[in-house]
Copies of this chain bind each other. A is one copy, B any other.
Amino acid sequence: MTASNQMASKPGDASRDTPRNQRADTLTDMMTGAPLGIICGSGTIPYAVADALMRRGQPVVLFPLRGWADAVAVKAYPHHWIALGQFGRFCRLAEAQRCRDLVLVGGLIRPSIMQLRLDWGTLMQLPQIIRSFRGGDDHLLSGVGRIFENAGFQVIGAHEVAPEITAPIGALGRLRPNAAFEEDISHGFALLAATSAFDVGQAAVISGHRVLAIEAAEGTDAMLDRITTMREAGRITLAAGVGVLVKAPKRRQDRRFDLPSIGPDTVARAARAGLAGIAVVARATIVAEPQRVVEIADRAGLFVVGRPDPEAPV
């Protein structure tokens, strides 16, 4: 699983996803001038979030996770490296910066408990950490989120502090799905709705009403590569340019912790797999490097569309 865990801090319009954060008494960091903390996993999205915030004059401080975050990209921002499990060190660093609001964003492969380098702050939380390792990603990430909240931090979704990093409703590039692909998209979203109760399945590939692949722990990239492999092996024999990658957030999940994301590499892999396009849930899917996404999709002849969120308030 790619735990593209999104959590973020946000002052003003916050929190339809996070009612417990609706505190009238806190127009927090943005008003006080304190930096917003971004705990960075892998990929480019943490820096897109940081840039969006800085464009609005919101200072940030990055906490790149050793082994996951991009050591070059992080240099452009105020930052302190931390290791997974160093919760005590993180708390001291954040306090020194007067940082109370947090976004957790970027790829994060589930670590083995044994691989964590535990300090005293973490050890104090150990029973809760161990509990959060049972069950799927959502369980793990919201467990981690609770640890931050118990320590007095406010955790907010990246999509809330930086809505411009999410997919809009409609086509991102030049192409639009035809009626047959629209059917596959609907079929795929219905499948993901059925599997999301099991804390699994943020993505699937559908072609002509047939489910070619469902994502579990392997992640979207490996699932797309499986389509390529099955085509090459003759296991699936479809014309190129059919089949749709569908991604959706799990139902009723805390979206601060695990929004799906796509990026240029997703489109390139979907093209290699011979798919017709990609459909995501608008405003609930992060698009990394949207301009490159559009360039690659247009060149390869794929559509990329955002569909209205079935869980959005009317």
Contacts and interface: CB of A to CB of B under 8 A. Distances in A.
A135 B209 contact: yes
Interface string A204-222: 1100111111111111001
A134 B208 contact: yes
A45 to B, nearest CB: 19
A310 interface: no
Given A218-B235, A235-B218, A237-B110, A194 B198 contact: yes
A234 interface: yes
Q: What band does the interface of chain A fall in when counting residues whose beta carbon is under 8 Å from B? A: 35 or more
A120 to B, nearest CB: 24
| Chain multiplicity (copies) | 2
A111 B235 CA distance: 8
A200 B208 contact: no
A199 B194 contact: no
Contact of A216 (B135, B190, B214): B214
B216 A212 contact: yes
Interface string A139-171: 100000000000000000000000000000000
Closest 3 CB pairs of A and B: A112-B237, A200-B211, A214-B214
